[in-house]
């Protein structure tokens, strides 16, 4: 089975989704907003964070003070 990603204008979204759902061979229709990260992007971010925490614990990477992080906001 293949997965297809299609970018369409917002105003055509509902019509396109209804067309896809009407096709008997389409098994799943899912809408993803570009502003929201995908599940894979979230998982990759968590993996990267865990790697960094482990490097900090091993002394191979220097931790940043919390105040520095808050100052960036």
Average pLDDT over residues 48-67: 94
Q: Which domain holds residue 27?
A: 10-72
Q: What is the pTM of this model?
A: 0.48
pLDDT tens figures, 30-56: 887 777 788 898 999 999 999 999 999
pLDDT of amino acid 4: 86
In a domain, 18, yes or no: yes
- Domain count for the chain: 1
Contacts of 8 (CB under 8 A, 6+ apart): 16
- Whether 3 is covered by a domain: the verdict is no
pLDDT tens column, 1-12: 888 888 899 899
In a domain, 4, yes or no: no
């Amino acid at each position: 089975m293949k997965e297809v990603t299609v970018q369409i204008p917002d105003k055509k979204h509902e019509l396109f989704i209804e067309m896809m759902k009407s096709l008997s061979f389409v098994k799943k229709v899912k809408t993803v907003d570009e502003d929201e990260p995908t599940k894979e992007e979230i998982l990759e971010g968590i993996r990267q964070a865990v790697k960094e925490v482990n490097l900090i614990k091993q002394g191979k990477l220097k931790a940043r003070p919390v105040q520095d992080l808050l100052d960036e906001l």
